[in-house]
Amino acid sequence: MANTSRPQGFKPVGQLLRVRPYRSAAAIYPGDPVKLDGGAANATDLQSRVALAAAGDAIIGIAMSYASAAGKEVLVADHPDQLFMAECDGSEINENADLSLTIDFVAASPDTTYKVSRAVLDSSQTGTTTYPFRLLEISRMAKNEVGSKTKAVVVVNNHQLKGGTGTASV
């Protein structure tokens, strides 16, 4: 039976290690990868600001709440060791040798009706040290097969709270 395509961004796997409040630079949806953003000066609230990350960016974490516009508070799972699950956009992740590779993501347009991210792992972009995620395993959830639209477990490889640009693939 083929996997159902239902991208919902990135969701924490296992224990949630840490969530912190940030200010949004624009609308942000739960499941969106976000990065630190210097943004406009704000003398009354010195909270760090986050913006949507683009493919290949170093990231601070994954949005856990919805922010409707710039300046709104958004909760972010920002611990460097947090695990996340996301859907792969293709069928290239299909063998054991793919595990431990670094992998990029696609920041797709969000679902504005249900207020959820549509970001997915870019299964055709694997292997370089600068990609933001590292593929750890295929999710063990029910009805998840290797092949098209596989749900995978990842950790942030290129994290803004760590030094450097990630580590090389095995």
DSSP string, 121-159: EEEEEE--TTSSEEEEEE---TT--SSTT-EEEEEESSB
Count of CB atoms situated within 10 Å of the CB of 144:
17
**At residue 100, what is the residue type?**
S
Note the pTM of the prediction, 2 decimals.
0.88
For each of the chain's 170 residues, which pLDDT tens digit applies?
Answer: 576 767 789 999 999 999 999 999 999 999 999 999 976 655 556 788 999 999 999 999 999 999 999 989 999 999 999 999 998 887 777 677 778 889 999 988 888 888 999 999 998 888 877 899 998 888 887 777 677 778 889 999 999 988 766 665 65
- The domain in which residue 50 lies consists of 20-77
Q: What is the pLDDT, as a whole number, of residue 63? A: 97
Q: What distance in Å separates the CA atoms of residue 92 and residue 142, rounded to the nearest whole number? A: 20
Q: Which run of H or E residues covers position 36?
A: strand 33-36
Do residues 143 and 98 both lie within one domain?
Answer: yes
| pLDDT of amino acid 62 | 97
Residue 40, pLDDT score: 61
State which of 77, 107, 142 marks the end of a domain. Answer: 77
Task: Judge if 72 and 86 occupy the same domain.
Answer: no
Question: What residues does 126 pair with on adjacent strands?
Answer: 103
Question: How far apart are alpha carbons 134 and 161 in whole angstroms?
Answer: 16
pLDDT, residue 32, reads 97
pLDDT of residue 5: 67
Query: Is the Cβ–Cβ distance between 34 and 63 less than 8 Å?
Result: yes
Residue 121 lies in a domain: yes
